[in-house]
Structure 1
């Protein structure tokens, strides 16, 4: 079809198109943001801050999603929530909070603040389940037995019970840590992890003191499975 002579005579001649260059710049910019290559120091800093914030938000969202699901469907978590309520210390979702942590821990319990879940330290939902149960046993002990956390024997007993009853020392977890044995593996794990926790107590001078505290209460506390009927 022929062009209208009037239209062709009044339309300016098109210059070189800038569209390919614009598309290329968008591609180059997105690749630089993805890889970090070709960015100046200011751009690189902004990129790192943005990625760090996205990781924090992603970790928090995943942690909250798993936590909410476990509080509804995990038999062990639901069981512990029931017994905490019966002991006069009910735990709600607000009592279990997700936050970033150092790489050496996955959770914690504070009588004043509840349970901490280290949002960036869980390799599976089952790992989080074990951690929640572990910390809930500490909460149960604090509520039911009025634990003095500055007393190493008290602390040792609760650490023995938590490691023993939470699933923290099952064989697959120990294998992941690089520890495995076909004879008394569970007991060895419980004792080792209890000593590590007590050693971190500000009132503990050294590993020998932590080991002594754990050994002094071992027999009675390892046998104490409350509120479970047996080792979970």
Structure 2
């Protein structure tokens, strides 16, 4: 040691039981901050957080959303055995926020895809309208006219096409017949994605053929819900 220099304190190295406690602390610190995690661990942490958020919002909406509670009541009234377990939070590879699986009656909620809770609310009501149509009207989803009618109703009744959703979330401002423009656009997009649909022109024809009757059919609501 050089003359006049001061000894430097050494950093203690944890060992034994202390080492286990240190490793546990470091793991918790990494999980909280994200520092030091592998890409796999980061992805798992993100997925877990998205799932918790989705489940929390779903619980809130099932208990406190008038539209969601009303749709569940109406579905049970027509004999549907729908339960909260039919709403499944899961990661999705697609761009959509949710979907309806006709064979099982399950509703997929794509965790991490919701802009806000109101977005999830309109998604749930949209898919519950599909379930209502299948339960009450025996929709044949391979029939483009049937599919078009349910899409028109779901987009119109769910709040998917409220002005704020179009303007702020989708950047699709329309000031003339905004609601109808949105419902038609989204219905055509959905029908065009049907494997039975040969092209967009066929989707447009199907939507046009059922437009008036299905847009004006507000069941199970007495009138159009407030937007």
Matched, 1:88 2:79: yes
**Structure-2 residue corresponding to 1:146:** 138
Deviation at residue 89 of structure 1 after TM alignment: 0.8
Deviation at residue 35 of structure 1 after TM alignment: 8.0
Matched, 1:59 2:50: yes
SS of match in other structure, 1:19: coil
Give the superposed CA RMSD: 2.4
TM-score normalised by the chain length of structure 1: 0.82
Deviation at residue 102 of structure 1 after TM alignment: 2.4
Matched, 1:129 2:127: no
Deviation at residue 90 of structure 1 after TM alignment: 2.8
**Structure-2 residue corresponding to 1:155:** 147
* Partner residue of 1:216 out of 203, 209, 221: 209
**Structure-1 residue corresponding to 2:178:** 185
Deviation at residue 20 of structure 1 after TM alignment: 7.7
Deviation at residue 16 of structure 1 after TM alignment: 4.7
Distance 2:136 2:34 in 1: 53
Deviation at residue 69 of structure 1 after TM alignment: 1.0
Matched, 1:49 2:68: no
**Structure-2 residue corresponding to 1:225:** 218
| Over 2 Å off, 4+ runs | 15-18, 33-36
**Structure-2 residue corresponding to 1:74:** 65
Matched, 1:17 2:1: no
Query: Does the CA contact (< 8 Å) of 1:59 and 1:120 recur in 2?
Result: yes
1:154-173 matches, within 5 Å, as 154-173=146-165
Query: Does the CA contact (< 8 Å) of 1:164 and 1:222 recur in 2?
Result: yes
Deviation at residue 218 of structure 1 after TM alignment: 0.2
Normalized per residue, which structure has more helix?
1
- Against the structure 1 CA distance between its residues 139 and 101, is the aligned structure 2 distance closer, same or farther, given a 3 Å change threshold? same
The number of residue pairs the alignment matches comes to 205
Moved more, 134-143 or 172-181: 172-181
Q: Which runs of 5+ in 1 are unaligned?
A: 1-14, 37-42
Q: Which runs of 5+ in 2 are unaligned?
A: 1-6, 15-24
Matched, 1:199 2:192: yes
Query: Does the CA contact (< 8 Å) of 1:171 and 1:185 recur in 2?
Result: yes
TM-score normalised by the chain length of structure 2: 0.84
Distance 2:51 2:186 in 1: 27
**Structure-1 residue corresponding to 2:20:** none
SS of match in other structure, 1:109: strand
SS of match in other structure, 2:128: helix
- Against the structure 1 CA distance between its residues 75 and 34, is the aligned structure 2 distance closer, same or farther, given a 3 Å change threshold? closer
Moved more, 156-165 or 111-120: 111-120
1:20-31 matches, within 5 Å, as none
Query: Does the CA contact (< 8 Å) of 1:81 and 1:90 recur in 2?
Result: no
